[in-house]
Every structure is written in structure tokens, then in C-alpha cells.
Amino acid sequence: MYIFDIDGTLLNTIDSINYYLNETFKSYGLKEVPKDKIREFVGNGPKVLVDKALEYAEFTGDDNLHEEIYNSYNKAYDDNPSYLTKPFEGIKESLDSIKNNGEILTAFSNKPDSTSNRVLKEIFGKDYFDYILGYREDYKRKPSPEGIIIIASHFNVPFSEILYFGDSEVDMKCGSNSSIFTIGCSWGFRDRKILERENPNLIIDSPSEIISIKRI
């Protein structure tokens, strides 16, 4: 079974996130957050993203306004998450090969569950993935292993038969906490050195390498 992180692994979402976050901030008179900083803040879900971005923007409002800004960003993004979003070059071809080989293809994200399902179904097609799991309140988000457990249990697949792909230190920690074969994807939102510090089983530099990986 293959489990893929979404943002920075399957999809280049940074332009979309950058657009919606800064449009929201602009509407509240807050300063722009550079795309490179947003890239650093992505990976732990939208709440952490907005919290870190507000800190960078030197936000001084109260908790109610903080929550209002967070909700405004979430609504704007969730209404059209595929805007300015596209798969990384070579991803679709590798995923097609996985599907043609009869393997189970899944996606797992700290992005909210409804948004994760919507964006992948809009871009790849309604039934392309066998299972999509975004963050829900009934389990702990990455790097907790709970989401991996949910996906594996859904298909009754042992952890020894899972390949997990991600682009951030959060993904690497999640894979380690789950004791599954974990592959760092250096084309995403983190530098290769950050992935190396987490000691995944493997690091790859191109989506074309995905189909050559064998379980060890």
C-alpha cells in the first residue's frame, strides 16, 4: 500500500496557500507574508499556518479577531482549494503506474478532511484514490501515527506492507512513529537537509523515482 502526503508531495499548493493567506491578511490590514515564509509554515495544518503567519505579521489583536482571521482564511481556501494548484511534474505518471500495478493508493494530510478530499478529487478525479484522509477531530494529527493506523486498518494491511511518502519533518516523524518504511520527497516544501536530519528510510529527488522503490 502507498500512502502519500498531499501538500508538497503530490501537489504544489504553495501558490494557492500564499494567495488565500495574503488576500485574507490584506483584508484585515495586515502586512504581506513572503512566500518563502509560508513555505516554512506549511505542514502542521491550517491552524498552525495562520498562527505562525500572524506572529510574523506582528498581529496584536485579541483572540476573537485571531479566530475570525483564521476562519476567513479557511473559508476562502476551502471554497476553491484547487485554485493555482497542480501536481508536481511526474507525479501523475508515477501514480498511474502504481494503480496499473493493482496497488492500493491513498493520501494522508494535516489539511482538513473535507478540503483534502475536495482538492484531490477535483485534480485527479473522483475515484482515483482508494482512500483519502485529512485531519478530523476524532484522531490526533501528524506526527501522531493515528492516521496511519486508520488507513491501514481500513484495508487490513500490515505496516510492513506500507510505503509512506512525505516532504516535511512532520511526515518523517509520523512515519517513524508508525514504524513504517518512510520516504522523504525533496521536491517539496523543505530542504533536503531537513529531511536528512529525520533519518527516513530513503530520500528521493524526483517523482519518477517513486515506482522504482521496493519494500525492504
* Domain range enclosing 166: 2-12+85-212
Q: What is the longest distance spanned by two Cα atoms in the chain?
A: 53
What pLDDT was estimated at residue 214? 76
For residues 164 and 95, give the distance between their C-alpha atoms in angstroms, rounded to a whole number: 13
Q: Residue range 116-145: average pLDDT?
A: 97
What CATH code is carried by the domain that includes residue 153? 3.40.50.1000
115 shares a domain with 29 = no
Does pLDDT of 181 surpass 90? yes
What's residue 215's pLDDT?
65
Average pLDDT of every residue of the chain? 96
Write the CATH number for 22: 1.10.150.240
- Residue 67: how many CB atoms within 10 A of its CB? 12
Give how many domains the chain has, as a whole number: 2
204 falls in which pLDDT band (50, 70, 90)? very high
Same domain, 195 and 144: yes
185 beta partners: 204
Residues 133 and 52 occupy one common structural domain:
no
| Tally of CB atoms within 10 A around 63 | 7
pLDDT at 18 over 60: yes
| pLDDT band per the 50, 70, 90 thresholds, residue 216 | low
Collapsed DSSP state (helix, strand, coil) of residue 183 = strand
- Same domain? For 8 and 22 the reply is no
Residue 97 has what pLDDT? Answer: 97
The two counts, helices (H) then strands (E), for the chain are: 9, 8
Q: Is the same domain home to 75 and 89?
A: no
